[in-house]
Amino acid sequence: MAKSLGIFVTTTDSLNHVIGIVKAAKAKGSNVKVFFTWKATTLSKDPAFPGLCELADDVSICVDSYKKQGFDVDDIPEGLTAKKMATQAQHGIIIEDFDCYLSL
């Protein structure tokens, strides 16, 4: 079975790094989950974000952080569904269920 990688994103200057890491991990057969929180939720408005959603096995964002950054929760970023507008429980899933953990 392929390894799994959970990526916890809190910084606003890391989207290109996240995309590169996801590409490399997927090329090695890994299952990849990415969770964006706090100011990193602003990255969901980047034109490259939908492409990341296609690359990774699972992408979600913290809905509370999204609201705190001034976004309307009904304005779901391209590439996500309402279900992927989630809570910090997604971070817990990464910690508990994934073989490797990366925080950016």
Whole-number Cα distances in Å, 48 to 1, 28, 78, 93: 29, 22, 10, 25
- Residue 24's region, left for phi above 0, alpha for psi from -120 to 50, else beta, is alpha
Residue 1 reports pLDDT greater than 70: no
Tell me, what's the pLDDT at 46? 98
The conformation of residue 76, written as its DSSP 8-state character, comes to P
Write down all domains in the chain, each with its CATH number in brackets: 4-103 (3.40.1260.10)
Q: How confident is the model over 32-76, as pLDDT tens digits?
A: 999 999 999 999 999 999 999 999 999 999 999 999 999 999 999
Picking from 87, 104, 76, the residue whose alpha carbon sits closest to that of residue 6 is: 104
Helix (H) or strand (E) holding 32: strand 31-36
Residue 2 reports pLDDT greater than 50: yes
Q: Is 21 helix (H, G, I), strand (E, B) or coil?
A: helix
How high does pLDDT run on average in the chain? 96
Picking from 38, 37, 42, the residue whose alpha carbon sits closest to that of residue 7 is: 37
